[in-house]
Amino acid sequence: MWPIARAWAALPMQAAVLLVLLLSALVPAYAYAHAVLLNSSPANNQIVNEAPAEIQLHFNEPVKIVRASARLANDKSVDLESSGRGADISLRLPSLARGTVIASYRVVSEDGHPVGGAVVFHVGAASAAPAGPSETPSVVLGAVIWFVHVASILLVAHVVGGRLFSALFNPSDVRAKRPLTMISVGSVLLASGLYLQGLDEIGVGFTFAGATPLSTAIGGNVAVANGLFLITLILAILPPFRTRSLTVSTAVIAMTIASAAFTFTGHSALATPPWLAKTCIFFHGGILLFWIGSLPPLWRLSRHPSRQMSLKAFSAAIPAPFVAMLVAGLTLAALELPDLGSILDSIYGRVLVVKIGLVALLCFLAAYNRFWLTAPAIQGDVAARGRLRTSISAEIVLAVAIVGTASLWRFAGPDQFQYAPLHPVSIHIHTDRAMAEFELKPKSHDAASVHVTILASDFAPMHPKAVTLRLWNPAAGVEPIKYELAESKDGGWETEDVPFRAPDGWKVDVQVLIDDFTTAHLEADLDEGVEAADSNDAGADPEFPKAEASSTAYER
């Protein structure tokens, strides 16, 4: 049997690198972490002529609204009623006076993580900004959430992973140790995790809030995952059955359910393609639980010379699943990282670097155990058994560190930015009198720079006396906003810090003063530049997406 197992293990080890490269080439270049607000109506920092009756929020994924409120120009705060489902949420506004309004919201994304944000707009004109909502995350609550999550995963690994190890490799020791203690501690941890999730969703910090946090979190994915983990604990503490096959089957079922629980939470579960992401999470999480749960019984077995055959069997069988765990983890990293050059630009990437370092140490210890210590220990070398126990103890420490590091991804969401990144937009506007290359580049989440190159209709250079830009959004009730462009060093015309969020519905009019008596108006829809950007994302990759605009020109 074991020669077959060794042969089976050899194939994944040889193919692992090739498989990772192939999967990395097939996956998309970017995946959002948690929910991100794509755009809103009114847009952020928008000036509207008439007070809107509601605010429309459009997210990149379905969300559940937890609460919403508005701080009005008179510094009065009111709660807002919400409606809608999926990725589109509407917030009903009260009657608004002239001035600045800050509408704040808190939603829960598909991966179970709460996300808060605010939209600022102005009725008629901006006024002295009212005090904005406080969305500073609770450090204490975050630390407690992290600790409870790490403790829960380690307990499930110890109980469920240890049961599967004993059922497969050490059937004489399959009975659970202190089952009532294990199920009691597990129940407290999982229930506490659900309550903490509810506290995070409603945004009240680390405090006792009655039954509200539980009622808020009970319908989410975290509740599903914790419920599945509780089922696995119950299955894993059952007394062994009369037949070994039934005992092994129960342990495998428990491990399968625990693996499935990981697919309900975490932003990796929302990466595309979903089938690949969830498959990798299933195997990566399940094998991780099995490996961590195997370490304590391995440490105990290494102390007894009479039980070295179990150690030999495990050593022969573990390479294949261990390599599968690494391949699944690397594939998930490829799904979530846009490129290696940006790995340190996000919390996710920095946490990943630390985790990779810890896993590298783990691989070194695993290879040391497998190729240098296991064989002498099986042959009765007392010193080798002592070194093997020390090495396994180091693996246990690394296991705790890896789980603790990976649990930091719970906080690697879009707290660094509220909105999805705006792509550069470029439109070619061509008329009989003149033409323009209009380029809009994002500078921040609420501002952009504009650069316009003016040419004659026959592509000859043109030197206009002045260029003025008008932007307006008739669908959103935004009147034209005028910007006087300054001549740039390259012969174009530009302006900075245009308060601009999403190009949807916006129109542009480039007014070119050709001479003292002639002005050409070049009009276009910015939506056309957005469609061109989407087209380029799917195929070609110029520096800026180009869209031929259907334009209007008239003379003064």
Among the ranges 32-46, 75-89, 247-261, which has the highest mean pLDDT value? 247-261
Is residue 263 over pLDDT 60? yes
Tell me the C-alpha to C-alpha distance, in Å, between residue 185 and each of 37, 71, 179, 191, 210. Answer: 39, 44, 10, 10, 22
By C-alpha distance, which of 26, 14, 17, 111 is closest to 330? 17
Question: Which residue did the predictor score with more confidence, 43 or 390?
Answer: 390
What single-letter amino acid sits at 415? D
Tell me what pLDDT residue 113 has.
77
Tokens matching residue 333: 């990293």
Query: pLDDT tens digits, residue range 226-253?
Result: 999 999 999 999 998 889 999 999 999 9
By C-alpha distance, which of 395, 188, 417 is closest to 302? 395
**Cβ(57)–Cβ(89) under 8 Å?**
yes
Bridge partners of residue 442, in order along the sequence: 448
Contacts of 188 (CB under 8 A, 6+ apart): none
Q: Is the dihedral of CA 361, 362, 365, 370 positive or negative?
A: negative
Which run of H or of E encompasses 368? Answer: helix 347-368
**Cβ(467)–Cβ(440) under 8 Å?**
no
- Per the document, the length of the chain is 556
By C-alpha distance, which of 221, 203, 228 is closest to 213? 203
171: DSSP letter: G
Tell me the C-alpha to C-alpha distance, in Å, between residue 101 and each of 49, 134, 240, 260. Answer: 14, 15, 64, 44
Bridge partners of residue 521, in order along the sequence: 511
Is residue 38 over pLDDT 70? yes
Question: Which residue did the predictor score with more confidence, 456 or 31?
Answer: 456
CB atoms near residue 489 (< 10 Å): 6
What is the rounded CA–CA span in Å between residue 78 and residue 259? 44
Q: Omega into 421 within 30° of 0, i.e. cis?
A: no
Average pLDDT, the chain: 79
Contacts of 205 (CB under 8 A, 6+ apart): 138, 140, 141, 199
Tokens matching residue 487: 């001549």
CB atoms near residue 460 (< 10 Å): 7
What is the average per-residue pLDDT within 377-400? 89
Query: pLDDT tens digits, residue range 421-471?
Result: 566 788 888 888 888 898 888 775 556 788 999 988 888 888 888 898 888
Is residue 547 over pLDDT 50? no
The 3-state DSSP class for residue 418 equals coil
**Cβ(270)–Cβ(278) under 8 Å?**
no
Is residue 544 over pLDDT 60? no
What is the average per-residue pLDDT within 22-51? 63
Q: How confident is the model at residue 529 (pLDDT cuts 50, 70, 90)?
A: low
